[in-house]
Chain A
């Protein structure tokens, strides 16, 4: 396979230094399916073999039972000496003439040297059957020339050709048998192969999913979610063809090709060489065509993706488009993309339209060559008619696999590309790796400390600069400040969604890096601005991740945050299964559900990240009490920009440009008349 094509899209690309070890690793996942794979291979061999046999049955039938069986040959005397068998089966018809079975001639091609020339074909029967009008009798045998044969009385024919009819019947039965075996083998080959590859895909998919889940949040923020989803779905699907192409189909095609080749070589090697002369053209054209078509297809795919993007946006933003009267412009823009798809489609049509016919022509060319040269061979007595007929069929068997192989190589390339994407992802190291020996803390007190923490998401764009603070267990703090000041980053570090670049984040005096992630997060409950409701039941959403949370506990939590009001109105109450992303709930209801979730987990540390911004003020008022209750006995960190929500906290941190510029209680900060005071006045003095 070529490693030199570099004109791939990123999606289709596999680097020129493709690592063959990916295949080995993939086969590692396939190994448990050994039995099925072996079965598939056995069935495959059986079905290929049976397919190869069928033309041969035809050939045997024609040569042995259908065509005239004997040919008169003029032979030199020494031929009879050299080939005593010739004399045995021949009926001497003159000094140096013999009626030789055609099948015998075919099997002993070297006899042809000793034969001067070939005469007319005859059927030979026992003298007793002689009907007195057709042919002649000689040496106890009745010779019927080919041409007179049809005139013989049918009743007599049935009698005298009994053996041929029986033979033909045998062949007919054999044909049916082979056919049945072939069909069954083919079916089970496909079935076992699919089972093997489906199961392999499943285990690879689960492994990848599990790995992805363990990776740090930053990967999910960096990479469009759709891409990650594609890895575990479509890419795995693509890699699957590795098993079905590499392991099986290429083998099958190769087997078919080689099998046919051996047979045709055996039938007549010269004719084989002549007919094979067209194959290189087939191969070259196929390869060239693949390259072109792949480019065209890639373009088609790209444009189709673009069309889909435009459509999705159009329909999601329809309100905007209509309210701003932009339909016409959007229509024209769409027409442009649509036209480009049409153009690319036409390129494809032309490719297919040129390639298909040319390939067909080459094949027909080959057939014509076989007729010409094979016919000459038949004339020369080097080949029987049945063989010529079988040859044409086998020629098809030679051409097809070649084309299939080139097809499969394209497929293989895309599955190699997929395998590279998948295994690269599998090899991605977790940026917030679990410690090898996590510190066992027992039940934490909930003390949070930052020591000289620097942090950035992207290099050189520092978000937190030398931040230090300590929150005593059970105390609550609020973090305020303008957008982009780094408020959410503080929280990301506490939960260890990210690691600090410098400095330490400690929980109960232990660096969060020394905690096991599970243990650490078990003690933290978080409610985010973007609520997240999973498509499971309400109860499962509340008890998320912790099977020990009973229904009672979940209901109690829901009641505390007043979520019970809307939940009880749902047709199935707590068992109501949510639509994707809780689409049937309002933003406020989703938020309440998330509060219930946080409460039900009874955390040591409670984190609210702009958690009340989606709740309207009246509802907010309702849950404010709940939040107050929730904070009792827990270390709480609240990020807010509505200052009204935070006046009860023990301490307020004012964050600006990655630094804590002020901290203290509400009263202290107000008295100080600093940044907080300004912010506060701004928000409230103008408000009412």
Chain B
């Protein structure tokens, strides 16, 4: 609640104006029963004249017309505050998450984070816009009505209002149960969604293996669960309306009995009765609202807390202060790294280095820690202090953008953004002109492919545009990295989906344009690391061997095996 209030506090003046507008309009609304009662009294005791009726009628219209302005003001202020908070929060979360390391996103599913940013932010907005609005409304309105009723006839007021608290209890208790059930319905809905997603995405396999009946059945199971949960929800939810109706009408019934008896006994004029009747009609909403408001505020608080937890979680990667200076020298000294929450070390006692103009090769089985090693160098993950050094200083000392600016990274599974191919290539350097984009695309041997698309470089990537093959994606990612002219180029198995012909062309081109730059090449194919100044062979996170091609061919069992495999066919052919 404190957090929520903190959000509102920023916009307190707007909020205050809203409350004032609200008070005005509530008063106006409450004057209506008063005038109606006046009319009824006058009519029943015979003092009414046409003139009086006309006056009453005009006064009512005048008041309501004036009220329209306050009503608008009030909604505008409250909803506006909600929207502003929504905007601020969303941006705040976004800004924060952007600084979080990839490790954080391994831990949290992207879908969940997105859901937080939409659902939780929206819940906060609603709790402010609706919750606080309706809360203020029902408090002011309900309070006024109760005061008026007490003033009019306190005994009758107390009698008639007996069932009112029941509404709140009903709405609270059932509301809570409904929320639990609703959560289940949503869960089963998304389970159904996921099932369909999975089956449709794998439709080729489903069809090839004739799995249609089983797939249908598994989808049907989720569908059935959804139906069951929905009906369970309705069993409770359908009670809400009738119960509220019963309770609010119970007040009316009590009024009929106790109020009626008073009239019969001549203790009370009909006008009071009418007023009570009108007030009770107006009371129903605040009674429902109070409990709704509590629900909304609760939800908003829970969401605000979740948001706060997200925002307050500090990045494990702190920014440093140093700028990168001097000749490139990347050193890894006795690095042992374990992913947070993992049992086994991903890397153990790694020591290696790559100096200006050198090429470091890394080979090893899938999952042996190759990608981890380069991620740590770029501080995408945080290496333990005193293990990774750039130009003699611990990487942690550098400003993050300086450090990362050193590297041009082509990841194993290239990630392209849903923008044009051109924008993807110049992603890291948006100021690049078309000519330069084409230049680098040619260097990465993707230019011809791009020209084959109808829109060329302006072809949109992703769902709205073309689907690129793995090899095409990899080459675009290479063009993107190359265009930065990075001091250290990191190719993380970046040619695996490119066919052999193109691979060799690209490697040749790399040799030429990169000249004496520094490269780190992770590869499965030895051709890519054959000419490296140094190649490390990783096995289960440890260095099995380190050396140049000719040495490793002899000394490293794994490298040897790879070499035999990849050269075997040549001998066959010769």
- Are the CB atoms of B105 and A318 closer together than 8 Å? yes
A-chain residues with CB within 8 Å of residue B530 when the two chains form the complex: 687-688
In the complex, the answer to whether B238 meets A375 with C-beta atoms within 8 Å is no
- The interface bits of chain B over 90-124 (1 if a CB of A lies within 8 angstroms of the residue's CB, else 0) are 11001101111110010000110110011000000
Contact with A along B471-506 (1 / 0, CB 8 A): 110000000100010000000000011011100100
Choose the segment among A93-101, A348-356, A410-418, A503-511 that binds chain B (4+ C-beta atoms closer than 8 Å). A348-356
CB distance from B228 to the nearest CB of A (A): 9
Q: A233-B192, A354-B72 are in contact. Are A186 and B241 (CB under 8 A)?
A: yes
A678 to chain B, nearest CB (A): 9
| Residue B339 interfacial (CB < 8 Å) | no
- Given A58-B256, A342-B83, A621:B565 Cβ within 8 A: yes
Q: Across the interface, do B223 and A205 meet the contact criterion of CB distance under 8 Å?
A: yes
A478 vs B196: C-alpha distance when bound (angstroms): 34
CB closest chain-A residue, reference B125: A345
Please tell me if the beta carbons of A618 and B501 are within 8 angstroms of each other in the complex.
no
Among the 9-residue stretches A61-69, A104-112, A441-449, A630-638, the one with 4 or more Cβ atoms under 8 Å from chain B is: A61-69
A365, B562: Cβ atoms under 8 Å?
Answer: no
Determine, out of B261-269, B299-307, B324-332, the stretch whose residues face the partner at the interface. B261-269
The verdict on A280 contacting chain B, using a C-beta distance below 8 Å, is no
| Number of chain B residues close to chain A: CB under 8 A | 163
Given contacts A233-B196, A315-B105, A376-B53, contact A618 B202 (CB under 8 A): no
Whether A544 contacts B205 by the Cβ 8 Å rule is yes
Q: Does residue B234 face the partner (Cβ distance < 8 Å to A)?
A: yes
Name the interface residues of A199-234: CB closer than 8 Å to any CB of B.
Answer: 199, 201-202, 205-206, 209-210, 212-214, 217, 220, 224-226, 228-229, 232-233
**Which of chain B's residues have a CB closer than 8 A to the CB of A143?**
none
| A339 close to B87 (CB less than 8 A) | yes
> Is the CB–CB distance between A324 and B427 below 8 Å?
yes
In the complex, A186→B208 CA distance in Å? 51
CB–CB A157/B266 < 8 A: yes
User: Contact between B110 and A312 (Cβ–Cβ < 8 Å)?
Assistant: yes
**Which residue in B83, B223, B238 is a CB contact (below 8 Å) of A202?**
B223
Give the chain A neighbours of B525 by CB distance below 8 A: 617, 687
Is A682 a contact of B64 with CB atoms below 8 Å? no
Contact pick for A687, options B49, B83, B566, CB 8 Å: B566
Q: Complex: how many Å from CA A158 to CA B249?
A: 27
Segment 244-275 of B: residues with Cβ below 8 Å from A: 245-246, 249-250, 252-253, 256-257, 260-261, 263-267, 270, 273-274
User: Looking at chain B's contact residues, is the secondary structure mostly helix, strand, loop, or mixed?
Assistant: helix
Quick one: which of B52-96 are within 8 Å of A by CB?
53-54, 56-58, 60-61, 64-65, 67-68, 71-72, 75-76, 79-80, 83-84, 86-87, 90-91, 94-95
- A172 CB–B CB distance under 8 Å: yes
Alpha-carbon gap, A154 to B265, bound state (A): 7
Which chain B positions have C-beta within 8 A of A61? 256, 260
Are A342 and B53 touching (Cβ within 8 A)? no
A176 to B213, CA, bound (A): 55
Q: Are A311 and B94 in contact (CB under 8 A)?
A: yes
CA distance A67 to B273 in the complex (A): 11
Q: Closest approach, in angstroms, between the C-beta of B45 and any C-beta of chain A?
A: 7
Contacts of B114 in A (CB 8 A): 308, 311-312, 315
Task: Identify which of B71, B210, B234, B252 contacts A522 (C-beta below 8 A).
Answer: B210
Chain A residue total in the interface (Cβ 8 A)? 170
Contacts of B380 in A (CB 8 A): 319, 322-323
CA distance A171 to B50 in the complex (A): 33
Whether B200 and A229, one on each chain, are in contact in the complex, defined by CB atoms closer than 8 angstroms, is yes
The verdict on A233 contacting B193 (CB below 8 Å), with A190-B234, A322-B404 known, is: yes
Interface assignment of B545: CB less than 8 Å from any CB of chain A: no
Stretch at the interface among A83-91, A125-133, A144-152: A144-152
B84, B118, B281, B572: which contacts A308 (Cβ < 8 A)? Answer: B118
A617 touching B573 in the complex, CB below 8 Å, given contacts A202-B227, A307-B118: no
A273 within 8 A of B: no
Residues of A within 8 A of B241 (CB): 186, 190
Q: Which residue of A lies closest to B274 (CB)?
A: A389
A65 contact set on B, CB distance < 8 A:
260, 264
CA distance A687 to B531 in the complex (A): 11
Among the stretches A15-23, A177-185, A419-427, the one at the interface with B is A177-185
Give every chain A residue within 8 A of B404 (Cβ-Cβ).
322-325
B contact residues around A67 at 8 Å (CB): 44, 263, 270
Q: Which residues of B contact A371 (CB under 8 A)?
A: 35-36, 39, 53, 56-57, 60
**A327, B43: Cβ atoms closer than 8 Å:** no
* Chain B residues whose C-beta falls within 8 Å of the C-beta of A184 in the assembled complex: 242
Q: What is the CA–CA distance of A356 and B67 in the complex, to the nearest angstrom?
A: 12
**Among A66, A187, A327, A358, contact of B260 (Cβ-Cβ < 8 Å):** A66
Residue pairs across A and B with Cβ atoms less than 8 A apart, 24 shown, are A66-B273, A67-B44, A182-B242, A183-B245, A191-B238, A225-B201, A315-B113, A319-B380, A320-B415, A322-B400, A324-B409, A356-B71, A364-B61, A371-B53, A379-B43, A482-B499, A483-B499, A529-B470, A532-B201, A545-B212, A617-B565, A683-B501, A683-B504, A688-B570
* 3 A-B pairs closest in CB distance: A545-B211, A683-B500, A190-B238
Starting from the known contacts A324-B409, A517-B207, A684-B567, 5 additional A-B residue pairs (CB-CB under 8 Å) come to A209-B220, A341-B87, A379-B53, A644-B566, A686-B527
